[in-house]
């Protein structure tokens, strides 16, 4: 993404939810980075689910 990466965006969304006391929105991380530490980073940033690419719906 041109301005920020997905993890930074996820953190920003979670921070905004807390600041505005709004409901938690589901965030699904969709990434080609599927190693254990990549998934952990997504969850630590606030993602609710991690889906590795490629995937079959």
pLDDT at residue 1 tops 90 = no
pLDDT at residue 53 tops 90 = yes
Selected residue with higher pLDDT from 1 and 37: 37
If you search the block for the tokens 């920003």, which residue do you land on?
Answer: 12
User: Contact at 8 Å (CB) between 13 and 25?
Assistant: yes
Please check whether residue 14 lies inside any domain of the structure: yes
pLDDT of amino acid 51: 96
Please check whether residue 57 lies inside any domain of the structure: no
Residue 40: C-alpha distances to residues 7, 23, 32, 35, 56 (Å): 11, 23, 14, 9, 22
pTM value surpassing 0.75: yes
Please check whether residue 22 lies inside any domain of the structure: yes
Number of domains in the chain: 1
- The whole-angstrom separation of Cα 14 and Cα 31 is 19
pLDDT of amino acid 2: 83
Which residue range is the domain that position 32 belongs to?
6-52
Q: What is the CA radius of gyration of the chain?
A: 12
pLDDT of amino acid 47: 98
């Amino acid at each position: 993404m041109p301005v920020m990466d997905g993890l930074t965006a996820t953190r920003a969304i979670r921070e905004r939810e807390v600041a505005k006391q709004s409901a938690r929105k589901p965030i699904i991380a969709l990434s080609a980075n599927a190693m254990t530490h990549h998934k952990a980073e997504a969850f630590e940033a606030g993602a609710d689910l991690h889906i590795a690419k490629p995937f079959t719906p």
